[in-house]
Amino acid sequence: MLARSTYLSTLVSAGNELATRAEGNLGVAVPMCPEWTIGDLVWHVTQVHSFWNQIAQTGLAGPENVTRYEAPDDGELLSVYSAGVATLAYTLEHAHDSDACWTWAGPRDSAWIIRRMAHETAVHAWDAANAIGNPMPLNAELASDGIDEFVHVMIPHAAKNTEALHGSVHIHCTDVAGEWLVVPQPGGELLVTREHAKGDCAIRGTASDINVALWRRLPQSSLEVIGDTNVAAQFLAIANND
CATH of the domain at 10: 1.20.120.450
Run means of pLDDT, 10 residues per run, the chain, 242 residues: 97 98 97 92 98 92 90 96 98 95 89 97 97 95 97 85 90 98 91 96 98 94 97 89 59
CA distance 22 to 28: 9
pLDDT for the residue numbered 50? 97
pLDDT for the residue numbered 155? 87
Calculate the dihedral angle through the C-alpha atoms of 234, 220, 239, 169, rounding to the nearest 10 degrees: 60
79 in the same domain as 28 = yes
What residues does 202 pair with on adjacent strands? Answer: 170, 226
Instruction: Give every CB contact of residue 117 below 8 A, 6+ residues apart in sequence.
Output: 7, 11, 48, 49, 52, 88, 92
Domain stop point among 83, 111, 131: 131
45 in the same domain as 161 = no
pLDDT for the residue numbered 239? 80
Q: CB atoms < 10 A from the CB of 50, how many?
A: 19
pLDDT for the residue numbered 20? 97
109 in the same domain as 48 = yes
CA distance 182 to 180: 7
State the DSSP H helix or E strand holding residue 192, giving kind and residue range, or none if neither.
strand 190-193
152 in the same domain as 68 = no
Residue 71's SS3 state is coil
Calculate the dihedral angle through the C-alpha atoms of 120, 222, 2, 84, rounding to the nearest 10 degrees: -20
Instruction: Give every CB contact of residue 62 below 8 A, 6+ residues apart in sequence.
Output: 102
Instruction: Provide the number of structural domains found in the chain.
Output: 2
8 in the same domain as 124 = yes
Q: Structural domain of residue 192, as residue ranges?
A: 140-240
Domain stop point among 85, 103, 131: 131
pTM: 0.94
166 in the same domain as 91 = no
148 in the same domain as 236 = yes
Domain stop point among 103, 131, 159: 131
84 in the same domain as 145 = no
150 in the same domain as 126 = no
CA distance 79 to 94: 23
175 in the same domain as 125 = no
105 in the same domain as 19 = yes
98 in the same domain as 27 = yes
CATH of the domain at 185: 3.30.1050.10
CA distance 48 to 77: 14
